């Protein structure tokens, strides 16, 4: 892991590199099934990122309150976090409106891509476990069972509109976003908030936001901040001490959640224009029409899965099954 650097008064090539890496992470975080944590792993900054965020603690508070600003910036690796965060924000803005359009106008093909991405991500995360023992298998089953129960809750079919729920979604989604192999966008999709958030991003990209959009975005961002600060230390400890069981649980959760994005669904409310208010019915395998659309869905799912597998191969130089994803300090 790169050691935190002392703050510098000017932009460097390393700063631009971090913006570029953040751009990749932000773009990945918008796509359900592609994890920004995986991208961080690929580009070699995952350990540094988790460590930097986990240092938002009492030591940092003491440095700030005593007026030792430079020491505080160095301790939390502020320059790295700011440049990376700038890139992530640009990546989210660039791709958010595209995903919103695809959901509204090409739902089946978009879900086919998501299904392939997340299905392959299950393999990717499971592959990080060196040896499957009874504990790992048990947590896989528990994770899958919890996911099936969660995605079938009536509340998630028509999620609450309140700001408290937006805050809650931010807390949960950011925790997933910093985990390798787990997509925060997929969590938002399960929670029924993905379309709303990408809609706000689309409006922001076109400078068409209203007061409610701004309020929702601020509350969501605050939820992300709270989730990040409260979860980062626990995540660092969890991955350093209990990596296999943690990853097995996550694998099971993703497997159980696949029914949420089953590509073959029938719109039961075609008269309703608002996507979030629509109701869809899943088709059984025997009910799926055999036509060119079916072939296209299969091709898109397979290509998407192949993309994740190729992405995993790119992580090989940076990830080893012989050591934890993060080092305990």
Q: What is the DSSP string of 35-90?
A: -HHHHHHHTT-HHHHHHHHHT-SHHHHHHHHTT-HHHHHHHHTHHHHHHHHHHHHH
Q: What is the tens place of the pLDDT at every residue in 216-247?
A: 989 998 998 888 877 777 877 777 788 888 88
List, in order, residues 6 or more apart from 154 with CB less than 8 Å away.
none
Number of Cα atoms under 13 Å in the Cβ half of residue 289: 6
User: Which tokens hold the place of 86?
Assistant: 């700038």
Mean pLDDT across the chain: 81
* Cβ-based neighbour number of residue 243 at 10 Å: 18
H/E stretch holding 197 reads: helix 194-205
Which residue ranges in the chain fall short of pLDDT 70?
1-9, 33-34, 155-157, 180-181, 274-278, 314-329
pLDDT at 317: 53
DSSP 284: P
Q: What is the tens place of the pLDDT at every residue in 104-117?
A: 788 888 889 888 88
pLDDT at 1: 46
pLDDT at 196: 86
H/E stretch holding 138 reads: helix 134-151
∠ Cα 143 148 150 (to 5°): 90
Query: Which residue bears the tokens 């320059």?
Result: 79
What are the residues facing 282 on neighbouring strands?
A: 265
What does the radius of gyration of the chain's CA atoms come to, in whole angstroms? 20
Report CA 245 to chain centroid distance, whole Å. 20
Domain boundaries, the chain: 96-315
DSSP 297: H
Q: Are 192 and 257 spatial neighbours (Cβ–Cβ below 8 Å)?
A: no
What DSSP assignment string belongs to 311-323? Answer: HHHHHTTT--TTS
List, in order, residues 6 or more apart from 68 with CB less than 8 Å away.
none
List, in order, residues 6 or more apart from 42 with CB less than 8 Å away.
311, 314, 315, 318
């Amino acid at each position: 892991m790169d050691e935190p650097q002392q703050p510098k008064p000017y932009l460097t090539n390393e700063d631009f590199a971090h913006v570029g890496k953040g751009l990749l992470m932000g773009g990945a975080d918008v796509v359900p099934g592609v994890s920004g944590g995986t991208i961080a792993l690929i580009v070699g900054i995952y350990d540094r990122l988790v460590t930097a965020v986990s240092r938002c603690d009492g030591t940092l508070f003491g440095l700030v309150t005593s007026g030792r600003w430079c020491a505080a910036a160095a301790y939390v690796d502020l320059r790295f976090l700011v440049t990376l965060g700038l890139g992530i924000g640009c990546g989210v803005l660039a791709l958010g409106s595209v995903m919103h359009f695809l959901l509204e106008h090409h739902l089946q093909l978009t879900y086919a891509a998501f299904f392939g991405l997340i299905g392959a991500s299950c393999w990717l995360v499971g592959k990080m476990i060196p040896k499957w023992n009874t504990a790992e298998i048990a947590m896989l089953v528990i994770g899958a069972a919890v996911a099936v129960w969660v995605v079938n809750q009536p509340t998630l079919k028509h999620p609450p509109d309140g700001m408290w729920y937006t805050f809650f979604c931010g807390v949960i989604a950011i925790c997933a976003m910093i985990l390798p192999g787990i997509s925060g966008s997929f969590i938002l999709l399960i929670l029924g908030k993905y379309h709303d958030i990408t809609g706000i991003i689309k409006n922001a990209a076109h400078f068409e936001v209203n007061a409610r959009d701004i309020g929702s975005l601020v509350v969501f961002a605050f939820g992300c901040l709270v989730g990040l600060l409260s979860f980062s230390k626990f995540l660092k400890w969890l991955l350093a001490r209990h990596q296999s069981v943690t990853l097995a649980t996550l694998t099971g959760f993703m497997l159980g959640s696949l029914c949420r994005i089953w590509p073959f669904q029938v719109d039961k409310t075609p008269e309703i224009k608002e996507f979030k208010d629509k109701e869809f019915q899943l088709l059984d395998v025997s009910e799926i029409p055999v036509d060119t659309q079916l072939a296209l869905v299969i091709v898109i799912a397979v290509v998407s899965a192949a993309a994740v597998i190729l992405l995993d191969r790119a992580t090989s130089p940076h990830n080893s099954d012989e050591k934890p994803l993060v080092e305990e300090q």
